[in-house]
Amino acid sequence: MSAETPLLSVQNLSISFRTPKGVLKVVDSISFDIHAGECLAVVGESGCGKTVSALSIVGLLNRKQALIEGSIRFKGNEISAMGEEELRSIRGRGIGMIFQEPLSALNPVTTIGEQIAEVIVAHRGVTWKSAHQEAIGYLERVEIAQPDQRARQYPHQLSGGMRQRAMIAMAMAGEPQLIIADEPTTALDVTIQAQVLQLLRKATTDREVSLMLITHDLGIVAETSDRIAVMYAGQIVEEGRSTDVLRQPRNPYTLDLVHSIPSFERRGSSLATIAGAVPSPDSFPTGCRFHPRCRFAVAACAAAVPPLETIEGARSVRCIRHQDLASKALATSDRRMT
């Protein structure tokens, strides 16, 4: 793999599910690359297709129910064509996964240390005795106090923040080249959120591990990610360097997400919200899928699906009015407050 070759390359990925209502497409032709040592944040509201996209990357979707089209390549190898044995060799060792709900993801009848040690034994061929010692070291690395004691405890005996740290330790234990973190700060208070994000970034930068961070909160990615891909209703609607996307959004949905971040500059004002909800895959609107909620929508927005257009080099946006949105007057006017 050359230095220019992405560690992970997802091209034209579409995911559909067989349902009583027929086959529903929940992810629609998304593409992105993640290079070695890079952090990509995939941002959007619940129901936009972020988690299901991540699960397809590690082969955790039920192939009897899910129809996957497109290409998913890890280190140049096509994942979507791999059998279960090949996928197992990649999970943990090549790609580590931090799931959204650690209490559900962790085995309730096995100690934390045992679960981390199992990853080490399975992927690195270490003896159980050595693996148990390493497990304690990983717990210490994620700043869990009294790691030897915590290693002997069960998931229900740890706080939410500790369980999330244990999940990070488990993901690190396989020494992967890419970690996918699915909403790693859900249900954690603000202080613990910051600590968990710092741990993730430190873990990836120290070992030059790539990170795919999935979140609905743009506020947590500013200092964590190198690039941002914004998803809405199964499509990527904007992608670019984090600083560019956050400072000057070119898609109305991204703009509304940025405006919804609480700010001291707007102290005393009502919090900005986005009216409506993400549409269900069985009722996606015609044209731009965001247009029913968009305050900048015009008649043409409902006529045809806008393409994902490359602008300003490595940046891309899906909106027929992105040039208008570049105007500061339009970007800052008519802000919806409810």
For the chain, which residues score pLDDT lower than 70? 1-3, 264-268, 328-338
pLDDT, position 166: 94
Same domain, 125 and 93: yes
Domain of residue 143, CATH code? 3.40.50.300
* 204, 225, 246 - which closes a domain: 225
**Element of type H or E holding 14:** strand 8-19
The span from the CA of 120 to the CA of 80, in Å, is 25
Same domain, 176 and 218: yes
Same domain, 266 and 313: yes
CB of 32 within 8 A of CB of 40?
yes
- Is residue 1 a part of any domain in this protein? no
pLDDT, position 120: 95
* 225, 241, 272 - which closes a domain: 225
Rg (CA), the chain: 21
pLDDT, position 187: 72
pLDDT, position 109: 97
pLDDT, position 61: 93
Same domain, 47 and 17: yes
Query: pLDDT digit string (tens) for 309-329?
Result: 999 878 999 999 998 888 754
Closest CA to 239 of 252, 254, 224: 254
11 contacts: CB under 8 Å, gap ≥ 6: 31, 70, 71, 73
- Is residue 337 a part of any domain in this protein? no
* Structural domain containing residue 25: 8-225
Task: Annotate 108-143 with b (16+ C-beta within 10 A) or e (fewer).
Answer: eeebbbbbbbbbbbbbeebeeeebbbbbbebbbbbb
- Is residue 338 a part of any domain in this protein? no
pLDDT, position 237: 98
pLDDT, position 338: 35
The span from the CA of 298 to the CA of 291, in Å, is 8
- What is the number of structural domains in the chain? 2
pTM, to two decimals: 0.91
pLDDT, position 337: 33
Query: pLDDT digit string (tens) for 125-184?
Result: 899 999 999 999 999 988 899 999 999 999 999 998 899 999 999 999 999 999 999 998
- Is residue 100 a part of any domain in this protein? yes
pLDDT, position 2: 54
Which residue(s) pair with 74 in the sheet? 8, 77
- Is residue 3 a part of any domain in this protein? no
Same domain, 328 and 258: yes
The span from the CA of 228 to the CA of 249, in Å, is 11
Same domain, 202 and 321: no
* 176, 197, 225 - which closes a domain: 225
